[in-house]
Amino acid sequence: MVVNRVDRGRYLDSVALMRVSRRLEALQGVEAAALMIGSPSNKALLRNADLLAPEGEQATPNDLVIAVRGAGAKAAMAQVDALLAEKAASPAEGLPRARGLGGALELLPQANLALISVPGEFAAFEARKALSRGLHVLLFSDNVSLEEEVELKRLAAEKERLLMGPDCGTALIAGTPIAFANVVPRGDIGIISASGTGLQEVSTLIARMGGGISHGIGVGGRDLDARVGALGTLAALDALERDPATRKIVLISKPPAPEVARRVLERVKKSAKPSVVCFLGLDQAGVAPTLRDAAEQAMGRRLDSPGFSHRAVKGRVHGLYCGGTLCAEAELIFQRRGLKGHVFIDLGDDEYTRGRPHPMIEPEIRNDHIVKAMNDSAVGVVLVDLVLGYGAHENPAAVLTRVLKQGKTVVASVTGTEQDPQVWSRQVALLRAAGVLVAPSNAHAAELAASLVS
């Protein structure tokens, strides 16, 4: 049974929507639940997740769609008003609030950066307004068209401002972590990344080796596509070259379009500052093969790695990842070793998150897959990542270890620092107490898993 309710003219922030959807899914007889603004893209997500009823089909982008599926859907829907009325404790309580960009700038006239997180249909319009007011923009929103992305990045260049994104989930600007970012010290290494978890992995490894970050600039996952042409990356390079606090630069991306890769690499050669390039999957001289190598080259030292004495394991490796770039890195390491028949799944992909929070926010989503892997006799090693920092779950190790069982080898890496809210060493200790082999980086973890089944 699928039940929808449409609240006309109602808007709630994503945190509130996620909180209520979690509470609904925990109710008896509920298979799935979601609360979304009724934009066309959101309705498509609900439709694909079997959560859209005829009432929801009629919703507009100004409406809120509440969708519940399961035998207990009607009973759960009767509790929605009470759940919506609950107020979660928020660190933002007491902070100044504004209803629009103009009001926000009146409250903070010194602000020079706007973070935009609205439905994709409205994101480009808001970004254009902010750029026109002379602000740098971090565009957290996705579902922005390629044409709009190119237009916005060209406008940003005209205004001599940065447009980070769209779908930019991580940044570190002048010591301030933004969105899904970690607590790392200030330093002299600047990072430009088309990957949020790539930026998180490299910045935290640098921090654990004693270094620090001047700025971590996200450019969005499509920036190095041939149609965008690295407009954001090249602008970020210019910005870091002008920045006196930045002495080294690290560039991170999955493989760019060949002509874009050539353009960026030629630009890097002309830089007065030493640079490290990590284009995952681009096997070329001078390009770091892994995120770990990029961090080590930037620091000029190796990451400490404990030796593991573990017997060979029969069966395949089953990689279950929260971070898409970390998943891609692990798969590449296996490919380079000629290992076939192993499985790597990015559980943050749209296929797994339609109508549900990202597994970095709610790692319980991964546990169903973990249980299946634990019970599969063909699986010898389960390979996982934990990503800490702001925005991530408060205790992902505790969620994971609840479903682990003896007799199956589990290898993990933990992306984070001691200063993160979850505390890196505390998460590592919880995993090790459950018998998990914890490697110091995602690349180390993938290499360890590969060695166990080779």
Q: Domain total for the chain?
A: 4
Looking at the fold, whether 231 and 348 belong to one and the same domain comes out as no
Final residue before a domain boundary, out of 304, 338, 353: 304
Tokens for 211? 């270094």
What is the per-residue pLDDT across 387-422, written as a single tens digit (0 to 9) for each?
Answer: 999 999 999 999 999 999 888 999 999 999 999 999
Estimate the crossing angle of helix 258-269 against helix 231-242, to 10 degrees: 10
| Confidence band of 92 (pLDDT split at 50, 70, 90) | low
pTM for this prediction: 0.85
Least confident residue range of 118-122, 132-136, 261-265 = 118-122
Beta strands at 163-164 and 170-173: parallel, antiparallel or unpaired: unpaired
Task: Please provide the average confidence, as pLDDT, over all residues in the chain.
Answer: 93
pLDDT tens per residue, range 292-340: 999 999 999 999 887 877 788 999 999 999 999 999 999 999 999 999 9
Is the residue at 143 inside a domain?
yes
The verdict on residue 243 lying in a domain is yes
Mark whether 72 and 113 lie in a shared domain.
no
Q: Can you give the CATH number for the domain in which 44 is found?
A: 3.30.70
Q: Tell me, yes or no, whether 311 lies in a domain.
A: no
- Convert the pLDDT of each residue in 331-365 to its tens digit: 999 999 999 999 999 999 877 776 567 899 888 88
Q: Are residues 43 and 148 in the same domain?
A: no
Angle of helix 324-336 versus helix 442-453 axis, rounded to 10 = 40
176 within some domain: no
Measured distance CA(10)–CA(63) in Å, rounded: 5
Q: What share of the chain in percent tops pLDDT 90?
A: 78
Q: What is the pLDDT of residue 355?
A: 58
pLDDT at 405: 85
The tens digit of pLDDT for each residue in 193-233 reads: 999 999 999 999 999 999 999 999 999 999 999 999 999 99
Residue 92, in any domain of the structure? no
- The reply to whether 97 falls in a domain is no
Residue 349 and residue 443 share a domain: yes
> Domain holding 131: CATH number?
3.40.50.720
Question: Do residues 270 and 366 both lie within one domain?
Answer: no
**272: containing domain:** 183-304
- Regarding whether 402 and 322 lie in a shared domain, the answer is yes
Average pLDDT over residues 367-392: 95
Question: Do 326 and 369 have their domain in common?
Answer: yes
pLDDT digits (tens, 9 = 90+) for 253-280: 988 899 999 999 999 999 999 999 999 9
pLDDT at residue 44 in the model: 87
Of 304, 326, 343, the domain-final residue:
304
Question: Is residue 235 domain-shared with residue 329, that is, in the same domain?
Answer: no
Q: What pLDDT score does 264 carry?
A: 96
Q: What is the pLDDT of residue 304?
A: 87
Task: Classify residue 353: in a domain, yes or no.
Answer: yes
Max Cα–Cα distance, the chain, nearest Å: 65
- Domain C-terminal end among 138, 167, 196: 167
Residues 188 and 291 in one domain: yes
SS3 category, 98: coil
Q: Among candidates 217, 214, 208, 145, which has minimal Cα distance to 178?
A: 217
Residue 91: pLDDT above 60? Answer: no
pLDDT value for 357: 76
Q: Is the peptide bond before 119 cis (omega within 30 degrees of 0)?
A: no
Specify burial of residue 220 (Cβ count, 10 A radius: 0-12, 13-18, 19+): buried
- Give the least confident one: 80-84, 92-96, 177-181, 254-258: 92-96
Q: Are 321 and 447 part of one and the same domain?
A: yes
Is the same domain home to 433 and 326? yes
CATH of the domain at 320: 3.40.50.261
Please state the separation of Cα 244 from the chain's center in Å.
29
284/245 same-domain check: yes
Query: Is residue 96 in some structural domain?
Result: no
